[in-house]
Structure 1
């Protein structure tokens, strides 16, 4: 009989202990629910704080007892309560342990809540944890700790995968942290969303590849971006510049014209077109000087002159849009003067040209140089410390045998 009484006593005590811990879970749930209501109103914020603190006390007891420690409800409540406390705590030294505990409990809750009985609590915890990391990322970003900012933003992005702000912040921080692969992945994701920054995403991708000195990937990304965002003129201009740098002048001219058709008031596109034609002309001039075959030389010279003429037209159109476009003035002066200089040099190297022919040619050259003079002057006016602009103007005076003005310009160049 005594044995039975003892066993009954143990059973009663064990059941009472379990009920006590269940009551802690119930109390934690009740106080957490009150907190969610009280926090909505400034007048009840203090009550809300009391409730969340009481909820924490109860969940700590439930989590410490072996009877309830591994229940999905315990994990879910602890995740929700601790993440809420971490989110509202702005002091890193005290909020970080709360976040870590909440994050661990959240993972356990997701793992154990097979029936989905605590999905609302789990969702709340996920949201609080994400917002906590968002705020942490902003703080790290502001202190230029970009690697930690990226990690925090990436956590936030994982908790809210369709949040375009999360994707953008993650890409931005990854780029600044030089985690280029992560940056490209997130920028490409951003380009598929409805974000207002989706059109800019490929600009950033191209710049990332350029920072890595991978011009092939940069050009491919530019092509891909233009296909998706054909009206992105900044991206098209970047594509043009890359093509010019790679020596693809002839191929790029058609793409530039396509861009001009879409944006006829974009001065930069006309400038790039002029630059492309200039490069083709310069290459033809080099070929003309290198060959000794008269027929080939004539073909190269014709190509040179035609492309310098086209370049001049493009620069003039850029200046029609912006008369103070310094680079366009500089280059227009150059392309008008360059063919004249070539003709004069060619005549000077000729052993068969007669003096009368030479004098006539020189007069034509001077007339062509005079067409360039207003633009040479304008380039210097707009950028008086430009070594290139001053040198071009000095060359004009040298060819015209105006030694006084040439010397004056030389002094200005030496003073730079």
Structure 2
């Protein structure tokens, strides 16, 4: 008996599903009738539009309705009608809300689906194309609203739909709001930009490449392509675009700074100096550029200082050259922004590292003779002068940020080299506070 009941239930379920499948085309027609009733009397039949939307969504759950171009056209018309009605209401009441998230997008999607149906009739194709033309400007407007709300993913979908609409309209010899070359190119670029802002670089690149392959004169396209290829770890592709862009737009700051960041990331310091000096010519008041150039020369200085192959005498000219250039640029950065902690720390660190040159010679000096002892004393005095010079900048940095761990560690080391036990302990305690997650409530130095 149980088996009989189970079989009967299965039959009933199958019949129910089949009935639902058969109802798809009927529901689509019913949705169309509800829409027609609404259009005849929008004020008196307001509920009919909601009924139409509900029925068409139910209908398109079935494969039978999905195979009908007419069903998709009805859906496109419903969402188009609802949007136009609500936009009209907004013209009277700007605070009125749109009921759909992006009815223009839904409408265009539906019309596109109608065109994809193999059995679409000529008049249906014309209806779908006309519907797309009507919704194209609206999908752009909604895309702009999504952008203003920082909903970049949805803004991208809207802008992409406007370009898809353009392609369909042109294929059918219809007018598009993007017929002007500049309008079209701008829309393509912003579509790529929105995708990149939405962290969808895979979607952005085809739009940037569309303009790139046309020989664009827009530096923004090169910048967008470079950034997205970098984001996608396509180093070779990114570098190719960067090099082409720098050659094509040698005066553009955005690609110049991209090149600087690339060289920084790769540690290609010798190439970096030229790019930075060019950037400084463009932005002579940008203190950060001087600091970065100072860092480059400081790194070159450190590389030579730590070279164990060449003799001290052979290294000396380069040490002086790089050290002087680093100090020059750090000084320029500080002159432009005296209250910058990092600038002051960097200058102090360089001056302190220069004392390591003297320390190396001290370590190589013999105490076996009076001359050796005398030379050692002279070198130590020179070294302490250099330490005092570095301390001026460390002290300034500490007065600006008493809890900067790098600054406190530098002060600790400097006072250790000076054999100043009192201040050594002061900064040891202050550094310990920061290492344990605390803060020094006030600066020790009042510069």
TM-score band, normalised by shorter chain: 0.5 to 0.7
Q: Equivalents in 2 of 1:252, 1:79: separation in Å? A: 58
Q: How far did 1:378 drift?
A: 1.9
Aligned to 1:180: 201
Q: Equivalents in 2 of 1:94, 1:335: separation in Å? A: 58
1:379 correspondence with 2:372: no
1:85 correspondence with 2:76: no
Q: Equivalents in 2 of 1:219, 1:98: separation in Å? A: 41
Q: Equivalents in 1 of 2:292, 2:102: separation in Å? A: 56
Q: Equivalents in 1 of 2:283, 2:195: separation in Å? A: 33
CA contact (8 A) 1:140 1:149 kept: no
Q: 1:269 aligns with which of 282, 285, 289?
A: 289
Q: 1:153 aligns with which of 155, 159, 182?
A: 159
Q: How far did 1:249 drift?
A: 0.5
CA contact (8 A) 1:134 1:153 kept: yes
Aligned to 2:143: 134
Q: Equivalents in 2 of 1:273, 1:320: separation in Å? A: 15
Q: Equivalents in 2 of 1:94, 1:237: separation in Å? A: 38
256-265 vs 345-354, greater mean Cα deviation: 345-354
Q: How far did 1:238 drift?
A: 3.5
Q: Please show how residues 229-378 of structure 1 align to structure 2 within 5 Å.
A: 229-287=249-307, 290-291=308-309, 294=311, 297-351=312-366, 354-378=372-396
Q: Would the alpha carbon gap of residues 333 and 358 (structure 1) be closer, same or farther in structure 2, given more than 3 Å must change?
A: same
1:334-353 deviations in Å (ceiling 9; x for gaps): 11121112311331243377
Q: Would the alpha carbon gap of residues 209 and 259 (structure 1) be closer, same or farther in structure 2, given more than 3 Å must change?
A: same
CA contact (8 A) 1:134 1:152 kept: yes
* TM-score between both structures, scaled by the size of structure 2: 0.62
Aligned to 1:16: none
CA contact (8 A) 1:84 1:128 kept: no
Structure 1 residue ranges without an equivalent (≥5): 1-30, 36-44, 61-71
CA contact (8 A) 1:77 1:121 kept: no
CA contact (8 A) 2:193 2:204 kept: yes
CA contact (8 A) 1:316 1:332 kept: yes
CA contact (8 A) 1:82 1:101 kept: no
Aligned to 1:388: 406
Q: Equivalents in 2 of 1:120, 1:101: separation in Å? A: 11
Give structure 1 regions of 4+ aligned residues with deviation exceeding 6 angstroms.
74-80, 111-114, 116-120, 190-193
Q: Equivalents in 2 of 1:93, 1:338: separation in Å? A: 61
Q: Equivalents in 1 of 2:418, 2:327: separation in Å? A: 22
Q: Equivalents in 1 of 2:400, 2:187: separation in Å? A: 42
Q: Would the alpha carbon gap of residues 205 and 269 (structure 1) be closer, same or farther in structure 2, given more than 3 Å must change?
A: farther
Q: Kindly tell me the number of residue pairs found equivalent between the two proteins.
A: 353
Q: How far did 1:331 drift?
A: 1.0
Q: How far did 1:153 drift?
A: 3.5
1:402 correspondence with 2:408: no
Q: Equivalents in 1 of 2:185, 2:77: separation in Å? A: 24
Q: How far did 1:230 drift?
A: 4.1
Q: Equivalents in 2 of 1:375, 1:201: separation in Å? A: 43
1:149-194 deviations in Å (ceiling 9; x for gaps): 64443222333561635642443335534x323323434567899x
Give the superposed CA RMSD.
4.9
Please state whether the residue corresponding to 1:385 is helix, strand or coil. Answer: coil
Q: How far did 1:202 drift?
A: 4.7
1:38-67 deviations in Å (ceiling 9; x for gaps): xxxxxxx978x99x98xx9xxx9xxxxxxx
Q: How far did 1:281 drift?
A: 1.1
CA contact (8 A) 2:189 2:221 kept: no
Q: How far did 1:224 drift?
A: 3.7
Q: How far did 1:302 drift?
A: 2.3
Q: Equivalents in 2 of 1:151, 1:97: separation in Å? A: 11
